[in-house]
Amino acid sequence: MECRVLSIQSHVVRGYVGNKSASFPLQVLGFEVDSINSVQFSNHTGYSHWKGQVLTADELHVLYEGIKLNNVHHYDYVLTGYTRDTSFLEMVVDIVQELKRANPNLVYVCDPVLGDHGSMYVPQNLYPVYKNKVVPVADIITPNQFEAEITSLRLSPLDSMFQVMDLLHAMGPDTVVITSSDLPSRLGDRFLVSLGSQRHVRPDGSRTTQRVRIEVPKVDAVFVGTGDLFAAMLLAWTHHYPNDLKTACEKTFSVMHHVIQRTISYAHDLAGPGRRPSPPQLELRMVQSKADIEDPAIVTEATVIP
């Protein structure tokens, strides 16, 4: 059965960010993807220069109305990422709510891009919109430590991190994956810790929660577009394994590992010995990773936490 995704994310002409990081791998895995570009830039903003346009909330509404007029607004998933504008974000919420009224089984996957390492890199006024409007309508969210932490609970020790995920569950999403944290890894300081939590409703109406922990190798480089790829892969693998967060996370993190390792190897070859790769050299090697996206060898295992 055909599965359709509406992806509302940024777009770049050069490289893989936003919709380009999400659409290709989803299409490789058999999803039909309709893309709305929240921004259209020449390249990502890690370069020295960039040019482009930003889509307004009104323009988003016009595009969505065009889809509706043709009666092709029937989706199984909505996927969103980075935005800097409150009115645009509120329009996204309106669209998601309308699509959910038409299809109560629609799954909204949200990467709540707010900041990292204690600093916001979007305007402060986006935070209450995410907290009060976006998260309550989301089904799957993929925050990093900081984005989860600003829900008001600390993430250390481990128990508090799971309290944060329980709080996020109570706000709406059934699946929460904290993509990175500062928790110490059992494998040493060359690894970071990710955590996942997924709640299910049993036939009798009671709830059960599966929690997993993933140790992820660190890479000494800055990539752009990896968060978009991660959210897309989590969408895909939770679709294929809806009641098995462990397997979905292992598939997702393993895809990330293969793409990143191929990218860093290629970038170092281009940069030459002793030289740090540049942003153009670190563009994700997405097409070259097609086979790994389709059928990733599992190199990152998740541990189920009782």
Q: Determine the Cα–Cα distance for residues 256 and 297; give it in Å rounded to an integer.
A: 11
Task: Give the closest residue to 215 by CA, choosing from 247, 188, 244, 251.
Answer: 188
- Residue 245: φ, ψ to 5°: -65, -35
Catalytic entry in 228, 244, 269, 292? 228
Cβ atoms of 194 and 180 closer than 8 Å: yes
Q: Give catalytic status of residue 159 as yes or no.
A: no
76-92 burial: b if 16+ Cβ within 10 Å, else e? bbbbbbbbebbebbebb
The helices-and-strands tally (H runs, E runs) of the chain is 10, 12
* Active-site amino acid positions: 228
